[in-house]
Amino acid sequence: MAPQERQTGTDQWLLPLIGLVVVLAGLSGAISVAHLPSYGTLTATMIWAALISLVAVGFTAKVRVRIRATNHYIAWTDTAMLIAFAVAPIPVVILATGLGVAIATTLARLAPIKRVFGVAKNMLIATAAGMVLQLFAWSPSSPNVTETVVALAAAYLTVVLLDEIITMPVIAMATGTSLWKLVHENWDVRLTAALTRPVIIIGAILIVRINFLWLLAVPPLVLSLHLLVSTRVRSRTEQKAWQRLAQTTDALNVVELDEVLTTAVTRAAELFSADEVEVELRDTDRVVRGGADGVTYDGSAAEPTTVQGAVVPARLEGHDKTVDVGMLRLRFRGPVKLSEREQYTLYTFASALCTAIRNAQAYAELARVAQAHAHDATHDALTGLPNRRHLLDAGNDHLNQRHADGVTALVLIDLNHFKEVNDTLGHTAGDQMLAAVAERLRAAAHADDLVARLGGDEFAVLLRALPAPAVAAHRAETLLAALHEPFDIDGMRINVEASGGIAAAPATGGMVELLRRADVAMYQAKRAGQRLASYASARDTADLGRLRLGGDLTRAVADHEFTVKFQPIVDLGTGEVIAAEALARWRHPTHGMIDPLRFLETVERSGLLPAFAEAILDQALVAAGTWRDAGFDVPVAVNVSPRSLLDTRFPDSVLARLRAHDLPPDRLILELTETLTLSQLDVVDRVLTRLRAAGVRLALDDFGTGYSSLSLLSRIPVHQLKIDRSFVTGMESSTEAAAIIRSTLDLGRSLDLAVVAEGVEREAQRRTLWELGCAAGQGHLFARPLPAGTLLAALQRGTGGRAGCLAVALHDVGAVVRLPQGRRQGGRGRHQPA
């Protein structure tokens, strides 16, 4: 029911009830006039004056209780009535009550309907009390105290109950408040007053029995007791009000904005006895309205309210008044003036609500940012597809479901000759190509399939709930066929060739093994010149040879099967090669080229690590000597196993190889991983300190991936930090990755360490890193890992007529370059990255 309809229905019941009370009081008054006793003039004047003043004072001395827009009072009128029965007949008391209340309500300037109701109600109550006293054969002069007390108790109980029965429904109808709630509200205040009055009544009657004239002393006594009681009642009321305020502000301590606003509306309606509470948020123009029963409106501020009457506003601002989030409005259907305590309560509540809203808004923003970061962490920034991490997590979750239906397979797709698109048309066209490929794969995939970009030009599609393994090949053909049509890139039609590998989910190994098998199948397709190949365990050299690799290591070291390729490290500003990293490969006579990730762990466990490390170091130093003899003094960086650093003979072996190849120690950079533990550092300290003292330069590889700490960095005497490729790849789409890069560069500058960025694949990444203050980088943008002779040829060929350079300089020689504030080169020379 709408508020206006409810109010109209209430009036239909309220007026007849008041009318009934008035009619009954009128009959009582008429009967009382007909039975008035005869008094002398002086006596009549004294009696009427005393009774009327007693009733008037009793009605005036009252405790105010505001219920919504209406003020209601707990008065002492019933006390005055019962005292009056001790000195005057019932008709006189009834009429004196009516006259006393009429005078008091007129002086108080109450509304006419309140005056009439007040007079009628109290006359009716006086009539009922008189009838009870007559029923008990009441006599003021009776010497039997027990009979007197019983009669007064019965009359007083009748007065209290009848007052509640008449008053409560009228208040409930007038304010639209639940009768049950009204009965329970302020019950302790009414009970305190009810228990205090019998003492006053008995005391006053005893005074009158002593001397009738002492009746004139009763009004001041009533007034004094009223002040005492009202003070205690006010103190109790204020205590409860502060308790309710504390409970209300505690209830606002939630993090959801909708819950904060709902709590504010419902609790404020109860706290301030308002017909409606409205909260308006300034930034969003949102308005929430409601009452104690809940929210009735949540929308735009343009929607007007249906509650018309008094409005008490309060700004939602902090204690320092520097923040203003909106407005709180209390609405009443009639005129209302808040007390001083209520005004302070409103100010305190508004301040607490302001804080709660700001906290909820901040929490919502943090949740939004966290959700965005979580999405960024699992999705590719360029295509919007899930990334490798998302693919692995989602795939493992699916494989771990025991109730997963059907066959699970993975299709790995790699674009052929994609580097030529980047080199010919530029990286912008390459990005457009990748985005278009992603869109076609997404459109060709089924609803249950998961399309992901693993990085570069490599995509994967997880096929779930297949009815049979053979269906995977059909799905894969459909995906590759979607790439057959030419792509329109910058007005040109470009054909894309792709190779694909299919693998069904293995019984063990999860997504990592499934991804490896699909990768094996894809390279089988590339080597065979096919568009698509399915995984076959018989052709999986990794699977067949894993157990035999350990037995082949001794022969591999003796026959020099371990080879080294070199990836150049480039000055990001000039494009000049300033170092090269040596990367080990195993050219197996049966299995072909084996990636180090598949044999390094076996090497470390075999006991052949020193021989392996010496073989790789020899090849790296030979290459560095060859480049130097050709006029390119390029240091070489070699990765060192953590196990080598635990061997106290390792420094002697390194220095011996340097002497054998006639190379200065500072032409060698040893790259350390972050997997060292603090428990190992005592041994490692001695090894590294000796190498550093001899002039060998040290670098900390994959810095920032989670294993390192400042305490570890302070213990290891390195010259260089290498930023892991994952941060470079994600820095344009992830604020965390960009922040880690900036903090690493700041750390490098503060510790006078050179910083090299790994995985630089795009020109935009190169320029951004250079502008941030990163001097050196390596990645496919400059060159993939190359044999030593091929790298020498590339150095001799150069770029743009500049030998020794693999990229065009970002600025002309001699040009004045305006760098971002705070960027500065480290203290090391341009040709010394470590």
Closest CA to 619 of 396, 449, 789: 789
pLDDT in tens, 141-189: 666 767 777 887 888 888 888 877 877 777 666 656 666 665 555 555 5
How much is the pLDDT for 171? 67
Specify the pLDDT at position 731: 86
**3-state SS class at 302:** coil
Instruction: Give the residue among 292, 441, 265 at the shortest CA–CA distance from 357.
Output: 265
Residue bearing the bigger pLDDT, 340 or 448: 448
Q: Which of 65-79, 233-247, 400-414, 618-632 has the highest mean pLDDT?
A: 618-632
Residue 633 CA to residue 626 CA, distance in Å, equals 9
* The pLDDT of residue 475 is above 50: yes
**Tens-place pLDDT, residues 662-698:** 999 999 999 987 555 444 566 777 888 899 999 999 9
Task: Answer whether residue 583 shows pLDDT above 70.
Answer: yes
C-alpha–C-alpha distance, residues 757 and 738, integer Å: 12
Q: With 90 as the cut, is the pLDDT of residue 307 above it?
A: no
Task: Judge whether 754 and 775 are in contact, CB under 8 Å.
Answer: yes
Most confident option among 38-42, 401-405, 588-592, 783-787:
783-787
Pairwise CA distance, residues 795 & 102, whole Å: 113
Asked if residue 14 has pLDDT above 60, the reply is: yes
* Per-residue burial over 768-804, b = 16 or more CB atoms within 10 Å of its CB, e = otherwise: bbbebbbbbbbbebbbebbebeebbebbeeebeeeeb
Average pLDDT over residues 293-312: 82
Helix boundaries (H) for 272-327: none
pLDDT at 429: 86
DSSP per-residue codes, 662-690: T--GGGEEEEE-TT--GGGHHHHHHHHHH
What pLDDT, on the 0 to 100 scale, is given for residue 90?
84
pLDDT at 780: 93
Q: What is the pLDDT of residue 774?
A: 94
Which band of pLDDT confidence, cut at 50, 70 and 90, is reported for residue 622? Answer: very high
What are the tokens at 704? Answer: 């920032």
Residue 827: predicted pLDDT: 39
Which pLDDT score, from 0 to 100, does residue 439 have?
94
Confidence of residue 359 (pLDDT cuts 50, 70, 90): confident
Q: How confident is the model at residue 528 (pLDDT cuts 50, 70, 90)?
A: low
Q: Which of 156-160, 252-256, 595-599 is predicted least confidently? A: 595-599
Residue 473 predicted with pLDDT over 90: no
**pLDDT, position 67:** 46
- Of 368-377, 490-499, 512-521, 784-793, give the lowest mean pLDDT range: 368-377
pLDDT of residue 9: 42
pLDDT tier at 627, thresholds 50, 70, 90: very high
519 close to 527: Cβ distance less than 8 angstroms: no
Answer with the residue of higher pLDDT: 435 or 250. 435
Least confident of 218-232, 375-389, 525-539: 218-232
| Confidence (pLDDT) at 825 | 44
pLDDT at 437 over 80: yes
pLDDT band at residue 312 using 50, 70 and 90 as cut-offs:
confident
> Is this prediction's pTM over 0.85?
no
User: Cα-flanking dihedrals φ and ψ of residue 151, to 5°?
Assistant: -60, -45
Reported for 215-219, long-range contacts at CB under 8 A and 24+ positions apart, including other chains, are 215/50, 215/54, 215/83, 215/87, 216/50, 218/54, 218/83, 219/53, 219/54, 219/57, 219/58
The C-alpha torsion from 523 through 421 and 810 to 746, rounded to 10°, is: -40
Percentage of the chain exceeding pLDDT 90? 21
pLDDT at 39 over 70: no
List beta partners, residue 581: 567, 637
Alpha carbons 106 and 102: distance in angstroms, whole number:
6
**Which three-class secondary structure state does DSSP give residue 328?**
strand
- pLDDT band (50, 70, 90) for residue 484: confident
SS3 252: coil
Note the pLDDT of residue 217: 59
Segment 90-130, tens digit of pLDDT: 888 888 888 888 888 888 787 888 888 888 888 888 888 88
* Token pair listed for 821: 């504030």
What lies within 8 Å, CB to CB, of 190 at 6+ separation is: 74, 164
**383 CB neighbour count, 10 Å cutoff:** 21
Average pLDDT, the chain: 79
Looking at the predicted structure, is the pLDDT value of residue 831 above 70? no
Which of 52-66, 144-158, 451-465, 527-541 is the most confident on average? 451-465
Residue 597 pLDDT > 80: no
> For 136-145, 574-583, 824-833, which range has the lowest pLDDT when averaged over its residues?
824-833
* Residues of the chain above pLDDT 70, percent: 77
Q: Lowest-confidence range among 231-240, 380-389, 433-442, 784-793? A: 231-240
203-222 tens-digit pLDDT: 666 666 655 555 555 556 65
* pLDDT for residue 321: 67
Q: Pick the more confident residue, 223 or 756.
A: 756
- Of 46-55, 149-158, 232-241, 784-793, minimum mean pLDDT range: 232-241
pLDDT attached to residue 137: 80
Measured between its terminal Cα atoms, the distance across the chain in Å is 79
- Of residues 712 and 671, which shows the higher confidence score? 671
What per-residue confidence (pLDDT) applies to 663? 93
- Of 718, 704, 812, 709, residue with least CA distance to 758: 704
**Model pLDDT, residue 229:** 57
Mean pLDDT, residues 726-743: 84
Whether 741 has a pLDDT exceeding 80, the answer reads yes
pLDDT band at 763 (very low <50, low <70, confident <90, very high): very high
- Torsion angles phi and psi, residue 71, rounded to 5: -90, 130
pLDDT of residue 252: 83
Contact criterion met (CB below 8 Å) for 102 and 114: no
User: pLDDT per residue over 387-428, tens digit each?
Assistant: 988 999 899 888 887 555 678 999 999 998 787 777 778 888
Give the model's pLDDT for residue 404.
57
The tokens describing 271, both together, are 């706290």
Residue of higher predicted confidence among 24 and 76: 24
What is the average per-residue pLDDT within 463-479? 87
- pLDDT for the residue numbered 194: 63
Lowest mean pLDDT among 254-263, 330-339, 659-668: 330-339
pLDDT on residue 364 = 82
